[in-house]
Structure formats: C-alpha cells, structure tokens
Amino acid sequence: MKKVILKCKLEDRERFEDKLSDIDLDFSSIYWQHDRIYVPRGYKQGMNFPRLIMRTEMRAVDEPPTHSLILRRHIEDSGVDVVEETPVTDYVNTVNIILQLGFRPSGEVSRRRQELIMGEGTKIYLDEIDGRDNEHYAKIESELIGDTSVEEARSDLEKTFKSLGETEFVEKTYAEL
C-alpha cells in the first residue's frame, strides 16, 4: 500500500488533543509499541532501499503481545512510502530469517501511542518516544487512493497540521532522532 506520511513535533500535546476533541475527534487509549529496525547490507539514506521492522505491540496488559513484520520503503523522489505489514506468530524464527537474508539491525524505538482514524485510509498517531524526555509527536498517514497526487496529499496533510497550530515538521524517522 502506498502512503504519504507527515510528522510534526508537538509544541503542546494537550492543546493539540484539545483542538481535535473540540471537533469531536478523540484518540484511542494508549498502547505500547517496540520496533526493531533492520536494513540490508550497503544501506544508505536516500537510496530507496527497503527496511524491515519487527514490531511488538501491547494493547492491554491482560492480553499477549502481537508481532508483525513491516516492509517499509521510502521512495525519495516521489515522497511516497510503500508499506506492507504481515502478522508474525514466531518472532525468533522470523528474526533469524531476516538476518540470514543479509539484513542487519540498525535501531530500536519504543513508544506509547494513541491513534485516531480520520476517515478512509487516514490516521493520526500521537506518539511519546521512550528516551526523548517530554517530546511528543503527531504523525498523519494517508493512503494514496485513486488519482490523488503525492503533492496534493502532502499539501492536505500540511494544511491539517497548520489548522491545528502545528508547523514543526520532522523528516527523520524516530530511530534517527
């Protein structure tokens, strides 16, 4: 699936949430995610190489965690992210396969996350990254559907953030921060 993703560092998380709540949009309860990122040999920023992400997610303390393998490829010249996610039942064997394919670990990110579904194919995530004291981020992911151009989709996401008073856009991944 092709997505346009835009991320902002929030100046004031409560104000951001309040603005969305004022228009009857509320975030889900908080859940925890941990990503282990793997890159292929010869990986270089901006070369359109894929990354594999092993994600562990806990939505409730009384339920077991879930695992998924995410293929993410950012196409630099188009601004599109190609993202495919597959559920994983055997975490250890899947990581061994990733390593045997020549991928190497490049980073880990843990976060507390809330989500808000804006409409068909569009979600806003509210993230607090472990180890980043009192920094909060909002990320909008929008699927490219039909004839919508990347520029048009990105412009709409920027307008959404600006209408909520947020303008500090972040291009780096959480692992790069």
Counting other chains too, the contacts that 57-60 makes at CB distance below 8 Å and 24 or more residues apart are 57/31, 57/32, 57/33, 58/31, 58/32, 58/33, 59/31, 60/31
The token pair at 151 is 């520029």
How many CB atoms sit inside 10 A of residue 21's CB? Answer: 12
Per DSSP, the three-state class of 65 is coil
* pLDDT for the residue numbered 77: 72
Give residue 146's pLDDT: 80
C-alpha angle 162-166-168 in degrees, rounded to nearest 5:
115
Three-class SS state of 93: helix
Residues of the chain with pLDDT under 70: none
Look up residue 16 and give its amino acid: F
The string of pLDDT tens digits covering residues 68-107 is 999 999 887 778 899 999 999 999 999 999 999 999 999 9
* CA 61 and chain centroid, separation: 22
Phi, psi of 20 (to 5 degrees): -70, -40
pTM over 0.75: yes
Q: What is the predicted pLDDT for the residue at 104?
A: 97
Alpha-carbon distance of 100 to 114, in angstroms, equals 34
Amino acid 14 reads E
Confidence at residue 149, expressed as pLDDT on a 0 to 100 scale: 86
